[in-house]
Amino acid sequence: MRDSIVGIFIGSLIGAAVINGFSLLFYVLGISPFTAGAVAAEIFLRNNLVHTPSGIFIGLVATTALSFGTATLTWLILRWTGKDWAWLKGIIAAQAFTFLGVGLFMPLLGIAPSFRNYGLAHIAALANMIFLGLAQGLWLVYWQQPTIRS
C-alpha cells in the first residue's frame, strides 16, 4: 500500500514545478505580465517585496501549497469516483480550485488587483492549471493504484 500523504505531497511538488514552469514561460513569452509565484507572494508581502529573493522563495512555497490543495482535491475525487479519466478529473479539480482562488479570494483579499486588467493573464492561468490538473491526475492514479478504486 502506498502512502496517500506522500503521493499527494509528491504530486504537489510536480504541480508546483508545472505551475511555476509554465507561468515563467508565459511571462517570458509576454503572454502574461505576472508569474504565479509573484501573485502568490502578494498574499503575504507588499508589492515592492515580491521580486526580492525572499519574495521569490515565499512565492514558490505558496504555489506549492496551492498545488498541495489541488492534489488533495484531485485525490479525493479519484478516491470517491474511481481512476477512470483521472487526467480529466485532475483538470476539473484544478479549474475548480482556480475559479475559487482567482474568482473569489483574490478580489476579496485584494491580492494582485492589477491582475484583473489583463484578460490574457487569466487565460494563461487557466491553461497553466489545465497542465497542473493533467499532471496531478496522472501522477496520483499512477502512485495510488492500490488505494484508488477502479
Structural domain boundaries in the chain? 4-143
Please give the pLDDT value at position 3: 76
**Helical axes 119-143 vs 86-100, angle rounded to 10°:** 140
Q: What's the rounded mean pLDDT across residues 120-138?
A: 91
Would you place residue 138 in the very low, low, confident or very high pLDDT band (cuts 50, 70, 90)? very high
Whole-model pTM?
Answer: 0.86
pLDDT digits (tens, 9 = 90+) for 35-51: 989 888 988 888 889 89
Contacts of 128-131 with CB under 8 Å at 24 or more apart are: 128/18, 128/19, 128/22, 128/23, 128/26, 128/36, 129/19, 129/70, 129/91, 129/94, 129/95, 129/97, 129/98, 130/91, 130/94, 130/95, 131/18, 131/22
Centre a 10 Å sphere on the Cβ of residue 25 and count the other Cβ atoms it contains: 14
pLDDT digits (tens, 9 = 90+) for 69-97: 999 999 999 989 988 899 999 999 999 98
Please give the pLDDT value at position 25: 95
Phi, psi of 51 (to 5 degrees): -95, 15
Would you place residue 146 in the very low, low, confident or very high pLDDT band (cuts 50, 70, 90)? low
